[in-house]
């Protein structure tokens, strides 16, 4: 049977919905599979406009039972979304676009954030906020992970994160996981800027595609986060009648000992609780987006290409009078020109005469957050926070190494040696960081 749009479709999923979401170590949204619409195609952009609705239909996915429990609320949310969409795009009803920023610049956003109108900020983030930590993104030509997986002898790059391939050939994934395992990297200035939003009482929620756990390391709690593509914090046995849960420490020991993790109870394969192609997103994603995006006053989008559904549809779920700031290497999430002419798009509009709320700051995410922090009067506070927290992380790492408390991970960029032995999947983290790989 076909999966719902809230699942990550397989490359071989003929006849299935093309909405996808998946992640791999380093926490990036995944690119298209073979046979799927090209990034930026009309089909994908149409999906972006309606993806928020389709994502809530669970079909026969493993989470469909839990989704059906909230079926009434979900259908009501869908109807509200449709009514708002028609109201905004066709000029129906009273919700017409009005000027919400005094100017469409970073300065304009900063002034809005300091006003009484801004109480709830929602962040949606991708791999681009972690590249300066040494974690490569996935789509940058020549430097992204997808461009450097040839040595794994994969049928196609995305197979390393495809659930059916993983069940048959788990070794490539765990070899890659050794190089990008959480705990080897420090949060970036961008991560700590999100923490400052929390400390200032402005952060409503951070929706992340990343599974590198750096948001947690930076000081965000479970309640602050929606880890849309899962997490390494827990793992589960894939045995259909077992499903035993394992801890982060247990999985780390297996990965760094080059042993394929198998269940102590039934000897089935154990997988970290990250979302692969072919798996459903966590129910928490669908539950909270229905309420958070009714309350949001400012949407802050950082380090994501907004190419994968249903995550990309989040930008279209905010009210018409909610400003949206993109901090990224390049513009993304824009309206399809044809759909815009027909008045049927809710993508972002940075440059047209009708632009009234969307702002794009182009460059490295850390630089963008630092620039915004300076305008807000937070720059010194941000720099001191980064310095203090990094020193604390270094101190803990030194103590753990001296005590021999945990297995020592290989140096950044070191070649893993699983069976079969793959070569290093890409340039060293230092080179990745220097290159400033673009977001996903």
Residues marked as binding? 237, 242, 263, 266
User: Alpha helix (H) ranges present in 12-70?
Assistant: 42-54, 64-69
Distance CA 274, CA 73 (A): 27
Q: Give strand ranges (E) for 182-264.
A: 203-208, 225-227, 230-237, 245-247
Residue among 391, 427, 401, 395 nearest 412 (CA)? 427
229 is catalytic: yes
160 within 8 A of 171, measured Cβ to Cβ: no
Residue 249 to residues 27, 161, 218, 398, 405: CA-CA distances in angstroms? 19, 22, 19, 18, 11
Segment 329-335 long-range contacts (CB within 8 Å, at least 24 positions apart):
329/128, 329/362, 329/363, 329/364, 329/436, 329/438, 329/439, 330/362, 330/438, 330/439, 331/360, 331/362, 332/304, 332/305, 332/306, 332/307, 332/439, 333/48, 333/301, 333/306, 335/45
Which strands sit side by side in the sheet containing 230-237, from one edge to the other?
A: 245-247, 230-237, 270-274
**Both tokens of residue 169?**
């050939």
Query: Looking at 191, 229, 236, 390, which residue is catalytic?
Result: 229
Residue 132 has phi, psi (to 5 degrees) of -75, -10
Distance CA 199, CA 381 (A): 11
Annotated binding site for Zn(2+): 237, 242, 263, 266
Distance CA 160, CA 176 (A): 9
**Both tokens of residue 340?**
């815009």
**Both tokens of residue 376?**
């807000």
User: 26: how many CB neighbours lie within 10 A of its CB?
Assistant: 28
Checking DSSP bridges between strand 121-125 and strand 203-208, what pairing results, if any?
parallel
Checking DSSP bridges between strand 298-302 and strand 270-274, what pairing results, if any?
unpaired
As annotated, the active-site residues are 229
């Amino acid at each position: 049977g076909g999966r719902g749009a809230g699942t990550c479709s397989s490359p071989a999923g003929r006849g299935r919905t093309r909405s996808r979401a998946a992640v791999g170590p380093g926490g990036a949204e995944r690119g298209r599979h073979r046979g799927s619409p090209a990034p930026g195609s009309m089909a994908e952009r149409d999906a972006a406009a309606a993806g928020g609705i389709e994502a809530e239909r669970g079909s026969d996915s493993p989470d469909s039972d839990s989704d059906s429990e909230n079926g009434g609320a979900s259908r009501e949310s869908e109807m509200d979304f449709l009514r708002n969409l028609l109201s905004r795009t066709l000029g129906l009803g009273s919700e017409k676009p009005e000027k919400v920023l005094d100017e469409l610049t970073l300065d304009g956003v900063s002034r809005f954030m300091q006003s009484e109108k801004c109480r709830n900020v929602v962040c949606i983030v991708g791999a681009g906020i972690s590249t300066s930590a040494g974690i490569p993104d996935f789509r940058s030509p020549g430097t992204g992970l997808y461009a450097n997986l040839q040595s794994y002898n994969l049928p196609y790059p995305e197979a390393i994160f495809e659930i059916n391939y993983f069940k048959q050939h788990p070794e490539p994934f765990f070899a890659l996981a050794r190089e990008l395992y959480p705990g080897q990297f420090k949060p970036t200035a961008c991560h700590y800027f999100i923490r400052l939003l929390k400390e200032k009482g402005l952060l409503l929620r951070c929706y992340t595609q990343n599974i590198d756990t750096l948001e947690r390391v930076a000081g965000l709690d479970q309640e602050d986060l929606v880890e849309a593509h899962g997490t390494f914090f827990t793992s589960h046995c894939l045995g259909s009648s077992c499903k035993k849960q394992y801890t982060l420490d247990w999985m780390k020991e297996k990965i760094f000992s080059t042993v394929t993790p198998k269940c102590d109870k039934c000897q089935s394969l154990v997988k970290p609780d990250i979302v692969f192609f072919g798996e459903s997103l966590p129910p928490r994603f669908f539950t909270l987006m229905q309420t958070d995006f009714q309350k949001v006053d400012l949407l802050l989008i950082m380090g994501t290409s907004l190419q994968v559904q249903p995550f990309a549809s989040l930008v279209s779920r905010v009210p018409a009078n909610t400003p949206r700031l993109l901090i990224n290497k390049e513009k993304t999430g824009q309206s399809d020109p044809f759909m815009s002419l027909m008045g049927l798009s809710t993508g972002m509009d940075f440059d047209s005469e009708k632009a009234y709320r969307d702002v794009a700051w182009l460059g490295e995410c850390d630089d963008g957050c630092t620039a915004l922090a300076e305008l807000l009067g937070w720059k010194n506070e941000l720099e001191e926070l980064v310095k203090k927290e990094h020193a604390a992380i270094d101190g803990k790492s030194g103590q753990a190494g001296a005590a021999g408390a945990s297995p020592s991970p290989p140096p950044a960029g070191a070649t893993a040696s699983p069976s079969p032995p793959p070569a290093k999947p890409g340039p060293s983290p230092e080179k990745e960081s220097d290159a400033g790989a673009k977001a996903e």
